[in-house]
Structure 1
């Protein structure tokens, strides 16, 4: 009997020679491995399906919320809106002629008066501006005129230069330059004034 033969075994189970017998892997272990792999696949598919359902329901919830928010939006007053400009009747305009053409200041002042502006001084431009305004005109006034009177007068003629000085009064100087021909046509200036006087639409908050 060989040393490799277990005790009590003989006959066809007798092991002879010096080589070890070739042993087969138990089939039970293979079944266990296959079962674990299958279970993992099932769990993975189940988790993926759960995520899909969550996405569907969460997406629907967002749409419903968006619709509710849109319905509940309410208008609110604009915080940073600029104040409405003064009406022409509250703006006193001094009209000065800086060109060689005679009578230009008076004719322009008369037309501005017809359009509702208050007229102050009318005549030739001071020496600092006489024959020295190559453009259409210069609007000269206090710093506060930038947000009020200048905006209104700019609807009456295009291409004006805006300048400020140290005056304490609210009147504005209109110094006509060599490029000035005439005021803006009244229908166009009236339309611009109406747009300027229209308050901004209130913003909405949700």
Structure 2
């Protein structure tokens, strides 16, 4: 009889041999699954952080920003063409008219413009449509083409003048002196304005 056989139990209930079943606690499979998932998440986060550090140190963000700027430059509209070169005073014929009740203004202004290099046309009193009806210092009157040429040059001599177009086809322009007119701008100021007008506009600085 084995030592493991309780007293009084013999026969088929007798336990023989030196091996016996071991009693183990059932494994907690749920806990193992949770731990495994947590490990996978932790590894994923660690990998993502590593990639971010690599992007920072390898300048990947700079490449993206550069690519974005390049795209913006390609889509930006091209600057418009520079305005045509300004005419020289000798290329402009000016008719000087006096619309004020004071005599002699048209001749004085015409003589001064001639000294400054302008070609002088007609000189006299203003037409009925403008006589004593110009409240400012003066009006520059000419065809539509004068807006980008003669007007810009002649306006340097009387910067407070107004610009007005008519239906004429000729290249000459009128300077109609208004009731507030006293004298043309000083030659020093006019020459400085002409120099600025003749200076070519700087090329647009591209950030591309």
Aligned to 1:128: 129
Aligned counterparts of 2:199 and 2:137: Cα–Cα separation in 1: 27
Q: Give the paired residue count.
A: 178
Structure 1 39/134 Cα, relative in aligned 2: closer, same or farther at 3 Å? closer
Q: Tell me the residue number matched to 2:148.
A: 147
Residue 147 of structure 1 deviates from its aligned partner by 0.7
Q: Offset at 1:199?
A: 1.1
- The residue correspondences of 1:101-112 to structure 2 (distance < 5 A) are 101-112=102-113
Answer whether contact 1:78 1:200 (CA < 8 A) is retained.
no
State the TM-score, normalizing by the size of structure 1: 0.75
Structure 1: stretches of 5+ with no match in the other structure: 1-7, 10-22, 70-76
Q: Which has the higher contact order (CA 8 A, sep 6+)?
A: 1
Which one is further off, 185-194 or 155-164? 155-164
Q: Which runs of 5+ in 2 are unaligned?
A: 1-11, 14-23, 71-77
Q: Is the 8 A contact 1:78 1:202 kept in 2?
A: no
1:103 is displaced (CA, Å) by 0.8
Summarize the Cα distance change of 1:52–1:87 in structure 2 as closer, same or farther, 3 Å threshold: same
Structure 1 partner of 2:75: none
Calculate the aligned-residue CA RMSD, in Å.
2.9
TM-score, length-scaled by structure 2? 0.75
SS at match of 1:122: strand
Q: Secondary structure at the match of 2:168?
A: coil
Which moves more between the two structures, 24-33 or 81-90? 24-33
Paired with 1:32 and 1:170, the residues of 2 have a C-alpha distance of 94
Question: Residue in 2 aligned with 1:49?
Answer: 50
* Alignment match, 1:172: 173
Name the residue aligned to 1:201: 202
Q: Matched residue of 1:178: which SS?
A: coil
Are the equivalent residues in 2 in contact too, given 1:78–1:201 (CA < 8 A)? no
Q: Partner of 1:91 in structure 2?
A: 92
